[in-house]
Amino acid sequence: MSLLDVVDLDAGYGDLQVLSGVDLHVDDGEYVTIVGPNGAGKSTVMKTIVGIATCLGGSVEYQGTDISGLSPEEVVRERIGYVPQTDNVFPTLTVEENLRLGAYVLDEMPTDRKRDVYNRFPALAGRTDEDAGSLSGGQQQMLAMGCALMLDPDVLLLDEPSAGLAPDLVDDMFDRIDEINEAGTTILMVEQNAKEALRRCDRGYVLANGENRYEDDGDSLLNDEDVRREFLGG
Ligand SMILES: Nc1ncnc2c1ncn2[C@@H]1O[C@H](COP(=O)(O)OP(=O)(O)OP(=O)(O)O)[C@@H](O)[C@H]1O
């Protein structure tokens, strides 16, 4: 049993089926990435795990329990953190207010977690009372991750964390993700920046047309001639 098991998953939006028979697993402590072309269904895998997209068949199991019928709020209570690709902070609320909302399902604001988030992302610590919308793109992405980390998640789902960042910030973002994983949080990440994601992760999946195409450790996928030709631009 893995920490997270996606088994023969069919999923989509309403009647529209996007995923067909997707299998994926993430072990405790692992860093797993999903890559593939635009529209492959990568984000839909994440959205199905967190209860936003519709599971039409198969299952999502977390610590051996089927969670495919849970609402997004129930999934968060299972300590599955999720950072969507866009609109992942409230721009008119302050940094501090965003972090409080990250912990909204908890009965009490966890002060230790907040301190940990500020230690991890010092750029946020000096801007606690500023509106999230006034932060740079990179800082907003860090705040979005901070909100998810407020729950002390066992696993963090990251949907294209490098999207929209200036090139010099992309490496920094990947370094932060490495640090979060090294501190013990399991990572499942979707990335357009496929080469860098595969370099950083333990294992990767290539999805295309809503189906599994390749699965291997990151370096093997990076060095696989077919994967390179079909999906990594040679
Ligand atoms: N809310 C939605 N309602 C209906 N169809 C959707 C919705 N979100 C995504 N889709 C469709 O599902 C398919 C897969 O989209 P998805 O966002 O999962 O792909 P992706 O691999 O993450 O691509 P990208 O890299 O472009 O984000 C696409 O055809 C997309 O148009």
How far, in Å, is the centroid of ligand 1 from the Cα of 45? 10
Asked if residue 193 has its Cβ within 6 Å of ligand 1, the reply is no
> Do residues 101 and 206 share a domain?
no
Atom of ligand 1 nearest to the CA of 40: 21
pLDDT tens sequence across 60-91: 999 999 999 899 989 988 999 999 998 889 99
If one counts the domains in the chain, the total is 2
The sign of the dihedral angle between the CA atoms of 193, 145, 9, 220 is positive
DSSP character for 31? Answer: E
> Do residues 148 and 168 share a domain?
no
> Do residues 176 and 61 share a domain?
yes
Asked if residue 139 has its Cβ within 6 Å of ligand 1, the reply is no
Q: What is the 3-state secondary structure (H, E, C) of 127-192?
A: CCCCEHHHCCHHHHHHHHHHHHHCCCCCEEEEECCCCCCCHHHHHHHHHHHHHHHHCCCEEEEECC
> Do residues 143 and 163 share a domain?
no
Percentage of residues of the chain with pLDDT beyond 70: 100
> Do residues 203 and 175 share a domain?
yes
> Do residues 97 and 160 share a domain?
no
Domain range for 55 is: 1-79+153-234
Tell me: pLDDT of 106 over 90.
Answer: no
> Do residues 75 and 157 share a domain?
yes
pLDDT tens sequence across 139-162: 999 999 999 999 899 999 999 999
> Do residues 10 and 67 share a domain?
yes
> Do residues 73 and 165 share a domain?
yes
